[in-house]
Structure 1
Amino acid sequence: MSRQRPRTLAVLTEWAAERYGGAPALRFRSRAGGGGGWTDVGYTALRDSVRAVGRGLLALGVRPDDRVAILAETRPEWTRAYFGALAAGAVIVPVYPTAGEEELAWVLADSAASVVICEDAAQAERVAAVRAKLPELRHVVLMEDGGGDAAAQGARGGDASGEGLRRGGPAPLDEGGGDAFSSGAPGRDVLVLDALPGPAPVEELLARAASRTPEDVCSLVYTSGTTGPPKGCRLTHGNLAVVDDASAALLGSEEGDVLYLYLPLAHVFAQLAQQSALVQGRTLCYFGGSVRDVVAELREVRPTHLPSVPRLFEKVHAGALSAAESQGPEARARFDAAIRTGLEVAELRARGAQPGGALLAAWKAAEEGLFAPVRAAFGGRLRVAITGAAPIAPRALEFLRACGVPVFEGYGMTESSGVITISHPGGLRPGTVGRPVDCCEVRIAEDGEVLARGPGIFAGYHGAPEATAAVLDPDGWLHTGDVGAFDGDGFLRITGRKKDLVITSGGKNLAPAPVEFALQQSRWISRAIMIGDRRPYPVALLTLDAEEIAAWAEREGLAPLARPAGHPTVRELCRKAVDAANEQLSGPARIRAFAIIDGDFTVADGSLTPTLKVRRAVIAERYASEIDALYHHRPIKSEK
């Protein structure tokens, strides 16, 4: 299905301004002073601020296909920098703000970034620390100059001249155009996004943007690198366009729609959400900067579209369940009955029927006491919530469906421009990731690997032909590395990763993903890692959900636990969770012993990638003594 859209993302803001004019394009909360109201920026104003950035980058000498890196959290300046650089003909290199020093240096060096746009002085200092490893880097630009809220300044001051707000902030680049980081320290000769010097003529920028083609590379998005250095996926303007079109045809759009975005824009999933919102004339609303405030902001913003990872939805479910349990067994029983009622009504309505009699009466009671308040927690207008990156807990999905919150799972990877399959209002089957989108052909290889082919598949890894050949065969099939299967109606179910396969010393082949997913259905468990390669049987390392354990301790009248992992009752909660998970698993895959790890796995400690994927080798090495101990103790009695 084709629809009206710009030829490339380089001209998107020009195209959108012609169609949507003063309609609100961006909505954001001031980060200065700890909060405040929401500010709207129209499509025409967005175009003007993007022009200012693009003209400034041209004046810095940015050439077609130069790499411009963005190192920042999700915020409106990220969007302005992204489209400004694309208009200047550059290739975007998104960098996770949580990336460690080694990964930061690798991505900037491997991509040969000539410009890095940093969120603030703290991020610029990190670039300065690795500056000696970046021979191609010419300029560092700050989104904030320390003189106030950058988003609001850009909304007011992003004029077409590019002459922004200096106010005694960091000095502009000298007239000679030397290295903007020659001093090696932020604060001297560092440029500011709204004060780039000597802007090029607007006609030059428009000509540069118009010269970009769908076949040109739009961005180098680096993969997580769970087993080695990240690889840069070359995504073209055409790749991203066809995937957006295919998804939009399924999810729909209406006037006045608002998309709330808290996911990192360094991830292709968030970039697709940004693109989709602006192509369709939605308002793109950014979170205020703190993940803790997301639920409160959803009530204020009242979005119609919400891309998210499963954790947000699972936390809402856990909170509602915890509230019911705090009122005693009868309240928990009413909660469970309400969910059963909601699911029965949802099934009826999906078939075009309506409830009546006792069922309708029960639904109305549940609607008033549970369903409506849950929908209100998401703002009350949510029509489409898309979740991906990891499977969502079935109980959370059932809870939200019963409450009337439409959550749809999707599946994709950076190499597929973010989307391979997607669930949608006309095609939903719980436990699956939907059917393939129209632009993607999918088949299952003999060994169970999911293969994908189509115009959304990437153009290869940057500077890595051997790595490209390993995943992209001569017939154009992308070998995803995921294992899955189709059901009789064409819905895809993902069951694990090929490279994570565990082979026990007895020769049993075990996929960790289903085991870990079963364990993580427990509200007490944050992460579960299955261990068992070349071992006699599988064991697990568990981390605790700190919020759930703290709430449990408070309900039990316990003092705050200094070390929950060592508390005997907490261990018993986890033992019961392991037993429950084992009931769902085949005999060889059942967990025979477990250890509870203090704290959680994090990006900062190197056990998770910036996209929150587990670095299994790192964890296995770090907790080698705990793992060895599990094989020297009596296995738990959960081997039914």
Structure 2
Amino acid sequence: MRQFSQAPAVIIDDTDRLTDPVWDNAARTPRLVQFSRRAGTGWADVTSAEFHAEVVALARGLVEAGVRPGDRVGLMSRTRFEWTLIDYAIWACGAVTVPIYETSSTEQVQWILADSGAVGCFTETAAHTATVREAAPGLSRLWQIDGGDLSTLVTRGESVDPAEIETRRKSGSADDPATIVYTSGTTGRPKGCVLTHRNMLSDIGNAIPALDVLFQEGSSTVLFLPLAHAFARLLQIGVVQGRVRTSHTADVKNLVGDLGTFQPTFLLSVPRVFEKVYNSAWQKAHGSGKGAIFDRAEAVAIAYSQALETPGGPGLSLKIKHTVFDKLVYGKLRAALGGRCHSAISGGAPLGERLGHFFRGVGLNVLEGYGLTETSPAITFNRADAQRIGTVGQPLPGVTIAIADDGEILARGEVIFPGYWNNPAATAEAIDADGWFHTGDLGSLDADGFLRITGRKKELIVTAGGKNVAPAVLEDRVRAHALVSQCMVVGDRQPFIAALVTVDPEALPTWLAGRDRPDTPVSELVHDADLRAEIQAAVTEANKAVSAAEGIKVFTILPRDFTEATGELTPSLKVKRAVVMKEYAEEIDAIYHR
């Protein structure tokens, strides 16, 4: 069994808690701006001392409301400053946060609150409150952020001695549960992943020293991914510990405007957002008659980035071309991100080598990492001084990665969760007797410990001819086309591999305008020769990565995109394969019975 590990950079003490950095920052750098919260069209700064005071005040309110150490408290809200404030207040009074996606259905909310045994719940809006009341009519402690309940809670908490918060905060152990995160799940009922203070502190504590290019004096970021997801949550505790000035935004549609006014130095995102940034730039250039310039600039950016990984680096001719296109194209792309953004962290799904090289070539170094909710979540990552585009990097300090005989990625270390809430059978299935967590993903390790993801074990397709096919390789490459939104490969127990493809609704109008066919819905284009030629080009390019027997032979263009609202995507934008297979069963059947 091939394995690779790195020595831990930090050791977590048994008394360490996630709230420690809040107290430390208030004592050591009280005037440092920790957060910038929305105020009209601008931002109002929140110092370390002010954030500490708000956390203590809200925690006192929770104590007055009867929340005890170890109690579980739900939190259903979009990403905003109050999400972070509430999270730390729950920890400060010794309780456990149970995040709930703000898009969750009544049935999902009912399961999460009931299974976790939550004694109360924070909601953001009246609609969220109505959902919780329907899901858990017996829940008496319910506080709505937009309804002014936080202020009421703080006022009532004035009767609680602040020393009580200090006592509760210090009396716990690093091995106490900090949060129960219910996996969004592409299939089946969500399982509650218990993450301890030690798990999360070990993860971020070992990441920050290796990511000093991000966590340095003067750094800033905008949090816009759902904080109910462990990926964004890790950065939340990272910006507090690393003293990074941070703002929140819930509406991705307003993200460009927020980036322009806030001017972050780095971002945390998922590949789909980077794909959208690229597609938007591509369609804008092609729509304005500058497509040829953009295409040449793209080729130079990719070549420049690839040359950075060669012993000699970029040659003189390539450097000159890169400098020219930096003024014509790349600088404008960086300006759209606020002008100061030099790096980004990407996770949740593969970014793909082409986009990785493209963004590094234009001056935004996207550092891919990998992990699962059960691993707190990061277990590998690329760093500025140790990066190989196309991989998800080396193990985090303190983490050991191994590849089992069947290709499954295994992990061990302090970041591995203790188990699923109320589900010992699932825990025993996930963590073996030797302490290895079985990720369910397939991958390979090179001689230097860089991990490459090759697919999902349960998603491995076996054709009628016995050929094993990992769909992720093909899907990622097809999605790289500017017109493609989603691609799902099918073919299990079938004679050949096929694909369901959806068109990006934002990229389509520009493509149509160039053909004098504006306002044509995609449902009328599924058999269009020109559109099929575009998708065929993407499929042909993707097939270059696999053998002839593994390549996509047939594809079907679907009449609409996959969305979370229609049930095909999880809140973290992963495709629910089982849902798509069921919903488009007729289309799949037609592929194989023409």
Shorter-chain-normalised TM-score: which range? over 0.9
Aligned residue among 385, 389, 392 for 1:426: 385
Aligned-residue Cα RMSD (Å) equals: 2.2
The residue type paired with residue 631 of structure 1 is Y
Contact persistence 1:10–1:89 (CA under 8 A): no
**1:73-96 deviation per Cα after TM superposition (whole angstroms, max 9, x unaligned):** 010111111011111100110111
Contact persistence 1:386–1:409 (CA under 8 A): yes
Moved more, 566-575 or 193-202: 193-202
Moved more, 259-268 or 292-301: 292-301
**1:508-537 deviation per Cα after TM superposition (whole angstroms, max 9, x unaligned):** 222221122222122221111122122222
Structure 1 residue 383: Cα displacement: 3.3
Match of 1:71 in 2: 76
- Which stretches in structure 1 are left out of the alignment for 5+ residues? 155-163, 165-191, 634-640
Contact persistence 1:387–1:409 (CA under 8 A): yes
The verdict on how the C-alpha distance between 1:105 and 1:199 changes in structure 2, with shifts beyond 3 A counting, is farther
* 1:399-438 equivalent positions in 2, closer than 5 A: 399-438=358-397
| 2:101 is the counterpart of 1:141 | no
Contact persistence 1:94–1:220 (CA under 8 A): yes
| 2:42 is the counterpart of 1:37 | yes
Distance, in Å, in 2 between the alignment partners of 1:131 and 1:494 is: 40
Moved more, 376-385 or 222-231: 376-385
- Which stretches in structure 2 are left out of the alignment for 5+ residues? 1-8
| 2:101 is the counterpart of 1:96 | yes
Aligned residue among 263, 267, 286 for 2:248: 286
Match of 2:24 in 1: 15
Matched position secondary structure for 2:397: coil
Structure 1 residue 572: Cα displacement: 3.2
Structure 1 residue 571: Cα displacement: 3.0
| 2:539 is the counterpart of 1:583 | no
Contact persistence 1:259–1:284 (CA under 8 A): yes
* 1:118-197 equivalent positions in 2, closer than 5 A: 118-132=123-137, 137-145=139-147, 164=151, 193-196=153-156
Matched position secondary structure for 2:121: strand
Distance, in Å, in 2 between the alignment partners of 1:560 and 1:403 is: 33
Contact persistence 2:75–2:97 (CA under 8 A): yes
**1:338-394 deviation per Cα after TM superposition (whole angstroms, max 9, x unaligned):** 344445555666779787854443333112111222222222222331000011133
Aligned residue among 198, 210, 219 for 1:250: 210
Aligned residue among 165, 171, 196 for 1:205: 165
The verdict on how the C-alpha distance between 1:324 and 1:236 changes in structure 2, with shifts beyond 3 A counting, is same
The residue type paired with residue 383 of structure 1 is H
Distance, in Å, in 2 between the alignment partners of 1:378 and 1:578 is: 31
**1:211-242 deviation per Cα after TM superposition (whole angstroms, max 9, x unaligned):** 12211111101112222111111111011111
| 2:338 is the counterpart of 1:366 | no
**1:172-208 deviation per Cα after TM superposition (whole angstroms, max 9, x unaligned):** xxxxxxxxxxxxxxxxxxxx55555664211111111
Aligned residue among 260, 263, 267 for 2:222: 260
The residue type paired with residue 54 of structure 1 is A
Aligned residue among 58, 66, 77 for 2:63: 58
Distance, in Å, in 2 between the alignment partners of 1:340 and 1:244 is: 36
Instruction: State the structure with bigger RCO (CA 8 A, min sep 6), 1 or 2.
Output: 2
Distance, in Å, in 1 between the alignment partners of 2:184 and 2:209 is: 29
Moved more, 440-449 or 275-284: 275-284
Match of 1:83 in 2: 88
Distance, in Å, in 2 between the alignment partners of 1:385 and 1:209 is: 33
Structure 1 residue 441: Cα displacement: 0.3
Aligned residue among 101, 106, 110 for 1:105: 110
The residue type paired with residue 543 of structure 1 is T
Contact persistence 1:544–1:565 (CA under 8 A): no
Structure 1 residue 268: Cα displacement: 0.9
Match of 1:619 in 2: 580
Aligned residue among 446, 459, 465 for 2:405: 446
Matched position secondary structure for 2:88: helix
What TM-score, normalized by structure 1, do the two folds share?
Answer: 0.86
What TM-score, normalized by structure 2, do the two folds share?
Answer: 0.93
Match of 1:168 in 2: none
| 2:356 is the counterpart of 1:397 | yes
Distance, in Å, in 2 between the alignment partners of 1:512 and 1:291 is: 29
The verdict on how the C-alpha distance between 1:612 and 1:344 changes in structure 2, with shifts beyond 3 A counting, is closer
Distance, in Å, in 1 between the alignment partners of 2:481 and 2:313 is: 34
Distance, in Å, in 1 between the alignment partners of 2:568 and 2:154 is: 37
The verdict on how the C-alpha distance between 1:489 and 1:354 changes in structure 2, with shifts beyond 3 A counting, is closer
The residue type paired with residue 2 of structure 1 is V
Distance, in Å, in 2 between the alignment partners of 1:199 and 1:589 is: 68
The verdict on how the C-alpha distance between 1:194 and 1:597 changes in structure 2, with shifts beyond 3 A counting, is farther
Structure 1 residue 608: Cα displacement: 1.9
